Structure 1
Amino acid sequence: MTESRENLIHNHEDLEVYQIAFDTAMKIFEVSKSFPKAETYSLTDQIRRSSRSVCANLAEAWRRRRYKGSFLLRLNDAEAEAAESQVWLKFAVKCQYLEIQTGRQLYSQYNQILGMIVKITKNADKWLLKKT
């Protein structure tokens, strides 16, 4: 991590990728309120869980920057949960629980999130805490 980043990012909530993931998870929560009751314990729970898990894994990754392997593992988990959220979004659109345009917008936000996670992963050493 560069010195300028250290001055700007004090915790996981300062990460742009976290902020976008959190906002997207909240949008999914809002739109999933209208999903049918029959989907409560399947699609609704799954999409809410995976979208929130992206944020949780980013927070964990941030706190595991002492160890590259742990850091990368959590980033990998965040990436996997973002991709899973995209799958659930496609199901929601195909089942006509979600308008196509809304689904495309949310799916696109996950493409952005995935790109950001991959970029951090490729530059992991810059993000690790320096050993003293």
Structure 2
Amino acid sequence: MVKSFRDMEVWKKANELSFQVFELTKSLPRSEDYGLTSQIRRSANSISSNISEAFGRKTKKDKRNFYIVARGSAFETQSHLLYGGKVKYFNEQIVGKLIEEYDDLIHQLNKIMKALG
């Protein structure tokens, strides 16, 4: 039984991916501190934050809106990963694996939203 957002598999996955993005961005140049580093970390962290906020909402409509925002942040994170790979900041294989993981996360969010109606 899910008693907390911390019990949700989708939140656990989003939280773990956020940590992986943080680790990936540690090696970015200082010149990216207020650019890619900040943007990708914020978008990755936003996913689990919005999932937890959705959990705390009462109505299906409110919950769904936060899941929609979480899904949008997952797509944003993928875009940042692709950019980082294109400009050779990130290893292409790592980017590919993370893109797949985010695809799975987006699929999980889609299932939750479908269940909410």
TM range (shorter): over 0.9
Which whole-Å CA distance do the structure 1 matches of 2:24 and 2:67 have between them?
A: 26
Partner of 2:61: 69
Aligned residues: 117
The gaps in structure 1 that reach 5 residues or longer are 1-7, 126-132
Which whole-Å CA distance do the structure 1 matches of 2:50 and 2:87 have between them?
A: 29
Percent identical pairs in the alignment equals 32
Partner of 1:23: 16
Task: Tell whether 2:41 aligns with 1:48.
Answer: yes
Partner of 1:78: 70
Moved over 3 A (4+): none
Cα root mean square deviation, aligned: 0.8
TM-score of the pair, normalised by structure 1: 0.86
Partner of 1:3: none
The within-5 A match list for 1:1-20 is 8-20=1-13
TM-score of the pair, normalised by structure 2: 0.97
The gaps in structure 2 that reach 5 residues or longer are none
The within-5 A match list for 1:51-130 is 51-64=44-57, 66-124=58-116
